[in-house]
Amino acid sequence: MSADADSDELRTLAVAAAQRGAGVCLRPLSEHDDVVTKGAVGDLVTAVDRAAEEAVRQVVLSARPDDSLLGEELPSHTGSSGLQWVIDPLDGTTNFTRRIPFYATSIAVRRDDGTWLAAAVSAPVLRTTWSAARGAGAHVETDSGREELPVHLPASSARLLGTGLSYDAHHRRRQVRELSGLLVDYTDMRRFGAAAIDLCLVAQGSLDAFVEDDLAVHDWAAGALIAEEAGAQVRRPTARDATMSARWR
């Protein structure tokens, strides 16, 4: 299969894969389940993370066996199609282990030239899936139906900034010091603990901006495209600037 796939067909596949992974993430942890630190203190992984990624991969490869996969928890898979799927099977693992409902399965697909084509983020406890296809806008699906993003919200003087903090203590201290500067143009901040959801909330119009400078590609891949297709101004990390940001102009 070539990289010439229709973006909306890819979005449909991304939604199916994200929702399959999110369904796995509904499995509650017991006190006997292992919660492992995989890097810095606080950076957690569970058997559910890995099972969710397996589920996402099965959906993608069943439909497009020649595509490449780059996941957070499992070894990468190299295909020949010119498309790569970037998977975060459980964004917000700490929230998941503490029964805080802000976690999601996130997946996005890009061409070899780096062009992002489609994405989906599914938050199972919130019963919400956000998605986008390049050039076709972004949408949110809930039990109430499907809406185009951004949604219609009442006007107010509130301006909300979303952000996150690094697992690295030195980096985290710097982020806290710089927070007052980030908040100059905002009335308050929100810290949900899952960058994919934060970016989707910008797309939704619920947050006015999101800024974080210590994320991996699987953290922001899907949410960035969804925010961009909703009409937000998006800046992805580069070799010179590690900041991921999305904001309404």
91 is in an annotated binding site: yes
Residue carrying structure tokens 């960035």: 224
198 is in an annotated binding site: no
208 is in an annotated binding site: no
10 is in an annotated binding site: no
With beta carbons less than 8 A apart as the criterion, state whether 161 and 207 touch.
yes
88 is in an annotated binding site: yes
For the chain, what is the HEC assignment? CCCCCCHHHHHHHHHHHHHHHHHHCCCCCCCCCCEEECCCCCCEEEHHHHHHHHHHHHHHHHHCCCCEEEECCCCCECCCCCEEEEEEEEECHHHHHCCCCCCEEEEEEEECCCCEEEEEEEECCCCEEEEEECCCCEEEEECCEEEECCCCCCCCCCCEEEECCCCCHHHHHHHHHHHHHHHHHCCEEECCCCHHHHHHHHHHCCCCEEEECCCCHHHHHHHHHHHHHHCCEEECCCCCCCCEEEECC
At 172, which amino acid appears?
A: R
- Per the annotation, binding residues are 72, 88, 90-91, 219
Annotated binding residues for Mg(2+), written as ranges, equal: 72, 88, 90-91, 219
